[in-house]
Amino acid sequence: MPDVIFKVFRGDTKGGQAVEYPVPIAPGMVVLDAILYIQGHLAPDLAVRWNCKAAKCGSCSAEVNGRPALMCKTRLDALTEGRPITVYPMKTFPVIKDLVCDVSWNYEVNKKIPPYQPAKDGRKIYQEDVDRVQEFRKCIECFLCQDVCHVLREHEKKAEFAGPRLFVRLAGLEMHPNDATNRSEFLKNSSGLGLCNITKCCTEVCPEDIHITDNAIIPLKERVADRFFDPLRWVFRKIFGKK
């Protein structure tokens, strides 16, 4: 089969540009196959993050032909024929080198989330209790939802907005059937949940098909509204002292 031209970003914190590489094509090939071919035959110092090559670890996130995607899951035959394929690092995070960017910010925000605490021992948990949460726990932390979210990508509000990935994590904790931690203050004041205007871009790019906006973010917004802005509940809390 003929070669396809790949235009791959080469550079670092100081800048860089796309470099063209011809890659022989095999049936069923994905973008990561091409990148690893380039690394193995043409440019041994080409930096790329990848681990499992099976869409389970979420390491090989990049922007392929301008679209955020996992390289291990992006088939070449699904991309438009007859023009070079461009591969760039995620735009929302600072570039370290070539296709590798600095995603450490996500880990820092994660540390601030009040952790899980079990309510009581020996409690039975039924499948219907966990179905909803298991959706959130499918997240492989590829950070594509963070990459595509305009609050982070265009408005650069990393200081005040946790982003879709961490809302998914928060939803997983909040809806956990045996969790006893109160995260109301964090949700209202620290997470930046209010900045999300539910454009659903995150949901569209999620390789795990998590309904981020509908199932995680909107219910969290409703919790905050109920907790802080529902006058009946406010009175109820004042009288009975419940959280």
Partner 1 sequence: MNYETHEHDVLIIGAGGAGLRAAVEVSAQGLSVGVVSKSLLGKAHTVMAEGGIAAAMANVDAKDSWQTHFCDTMKGGKFLNNWRMAQLHAQEAPDRIRELEEWGALFDRTPEGEILQRAFGGHTWKRLCHVGDRTGLEMIRTLQDKGVHSGINIYMELTIFRLLKDGDKIAGAIGYWRQTGEFVVFKTKAIVLATGGAGKAYQITSNSWECTGDGHALAYEAGAELIDMEFFQFHPTGMVWPPGVKGLLVTEGVRGEGGLLANNKGERFMKRYDPKMMELSTRDMVARSIYTEVKEGRGSPHGGVFLDISHLPAERVKKKLPSMYHQFKELADVDITREPMEVGPTAHYIMGGVRVDAETGLSTLPGLFACGEVAGGMHGANRLGGNSLSDLLVFGRRAGAGAVEYARKLNSSPTLDTGEVEKAAKDMEAPFLRSSGENPYKIHRELQESMQSLIGIFRTEEDLKKGIGKSEELKHRTEKVAATGDRAYNPGWHLVGDLKSLLIVSDAVARAALTRKESRGAHSRLDYPNLDEKLGKLNVAVAEKNGAMNISTSPVPETPEELKKLLAENT
- Interface with partner 1 (CB under 8 A): 12, 26-30, 33, 39-41, 44-59, 73, 75, 96-98, 100, 103-104, 107, 110-111, 115-116, 118, 121, 124-127, 129-130, 133-134, 137-138, 140-141, 173, 176-177, 179
Least separation in angstroms between CB 172 and partner 1: 9
Least separation in angstroms between CB 12 and partner 1: 7
Among residues 149, 171, 170, 152, the alpha carbon closest in space to that of 160 is found at 152
Task: Report yes or no: 90 and 148 within 8 Å, Cβ to Cβ.
Answer: no
Among the residues of 149-217, which ranges form H helices? 150-153, 164-174, 184-185, 201-205
- Look up residue 88 and give its two tokens: 């760039």
Least separation in angstroms between CB 80 and partner 1: 18
Nearest to partner 1 of 83, 138 (CB atom): 138
Nearest to partner 1 of 31, 187 (CB atom): 31
Task: Report yes or no: 61 and 142 within 8 Å, Cβ to Cβ.
Answer: yes
Q: Determine the Cα–Cα distance for residues 167 and 128; give it in Å rounded to an integer.
A: 22
Residue in the structure block whose two tokens are 């997470």: 191
Nearest to partner 1 of 34, 217 (CB atom): 34
Least separation in angstroms between CB 231 and partner 1: 34
